[in-house]
Homo-oligomer: A and B are copies of this chain.
């Protein structure tokens, strides 16, 4: 009987899962659309059923010994998702309690911030191997972050540390899902770059293929493709996004001075288009004591399984 864990990545749009062994090999995977479950109870039942279904389809004899979950505002200490602005479940939902109820109380179930899970994944399977100080920035629907310092995940006094998407970079700026204005993630995320495109379309007279899309239809992937094709608005949107992110990373350097920042998630797939301006503006803005010292890298886990792998790595690191 082979021991495996389940890695679950709860995103604003989809919840993905994978059955993963200690070496990072996958034994089946799947996903359910998070948004179609306004009820947390229904979501939990549905993810349980999807995992059990996938498990049945495996030929090999495998046993689930743990479940790692990465979720927006997932709290390691109390096992709850609390006030996640990109999820429709309001207040505090007891994820670890509910998942244990469905899978059995003998299973290790551990929850953390989705970005913390990505950071554990980067440390175990990715580019942060051997680094004791690094920060993973996840660029999805929102902006998440996992801060590792002195070889330890920074969880803070209550498990809510590392929410760098909610640092205010423009007071009175764009409305954020958290109820405030000007948070970093309203500028730097898949949604943020779309908002920047619409701002540029409003302000500039430059022709752009992006003028033919509605706000609802436009995706960050379409902005990426337009930029690759030389669209001036799309290129400017990447530069603006890199500027906001680079300036923010310069400020974050003054906090924990990481060896590297890793960019992870949908928007990071744009590669040099986001990396180059981010590095350039970070160096332009940063204090002299940090200049030319701190790397900005793309996550080495940047494929569709990465967040799931991170959640699985979390379960394995708790089990060991």
Q: Tell which of A6-14, A256-264, A300-308 binds the partner.
A: A256-264
Chain B residue numbers with a CB within 8 Å of A179 are: 288
Query: How many identical chains are in the complex?
Result: 2
Q: Complex Cα distance A287/B166, Å?
A: 7
Interface size class, chain A: 35 or more
Q: Is the CB of A247 within 8 A of B287?
A: no
A161 within 8 A of B: yes
A68 to B131, CA, bound (A): 28
A3 at the interface (CB under 8 A from B): no
Q: Closest chain B residue to A179 by CB distance? A: B288
Is A156 a contact of B258 with CB atoms below 8 Å?
A: yes
Residue contact B255 to A178, C-beta cutoff 8 Å: no
Complex Cα distance A309/B167, Å?
Answer: 34
Binds B, one of A40-48, A146-154, A188-196, A231-239: A146-154
A257 touches B160 (CB 8 A): yes
Q: Is the CB of A255 within 8 A of B164?
A: yes
A252 contacts the other chain (Cβ, under 8 Å)?
yes
Q: Is A180 an interface residue (CB 8 A)?
A: yes
Contact B255 A147, beta carbon cutoff 8 Å: yes
A285 at the interface (CB under 8 A from B): yes
> Which B residues touch A150, using CB under 8 A?
150, 152, 154-155
Q: Which residues of B contact A178 (CB under 8 A)?
A: 287-288
Given the contacts A171-B247, A252-B255, A289 and B161 also touching, CB distance less than 8 Å? no
B-side contacts of A211, CB under 8 Å: none
Asked if A73 is an interface residue, CB under 8 A from chain B, the answer is yes
Whole-angstrom CA separation of A164 from B132 in the bound complex? 21
Q: Is the interface of A mostly helix, strand, loop or mixed?
A: loop
Asked if A158 CB lies within 8 Å of chain B CBs, one says yes
Provide the residues of chain B in CB contact with A131, threshold 8 Å.
157
Bound state CA distance, A83 and B152, in angstroms?
29
Contacts of A255 in B (CB 8 A): 147, 154, 161-162, 164, 167, 252, 255-256
Of residues 138 through 152 on chain A, the ones whose CB sits less than 8 Å from some CB of chain B are: 147, 149-150, 152
Q: Which of A152, A156, A178, A247 has the most CB of B within 10 A?
A: A156
Q: Tell me the bound Cα distance from A160 to B252 in angstroms.
A: 12
| Chain B residues within an 8 Å CB radius of A259 | 157
CB of A293 within 8 A of chain B? yes
Is A289 touching B163 in the complex (CB atoms < 8 A)? Answer: yes
Given contact pairs A161-B255, A179-B288, A287-B178, A156 touches B166 in the complex (Cβ within 8 A):
no
- Residue A102 lies at the interface, judged by CB distance under 8 Å to chain B: no
Which chain B residues lie closer than 8 Å to A163 at the CB level?
254, 287, 289
Nearest B-chain residue to A134, judged by Cβ: B157
Contacts of A288 in B (CB 8 A): 83, 178-179
A290 at the interface (CB under 8 A from B): yes
Contact of B250 with A160 in the complex, beta carbons under 8 Å: no
- 9 other A-B residue contacts (CB within 8 Å) besides A149-B154, A168-B250, A255-B256: A83-B289, A131-B157, A133-B157, A157-B258, A157-B259, A157-B294, A162-B254, A162-B255, A167-B251
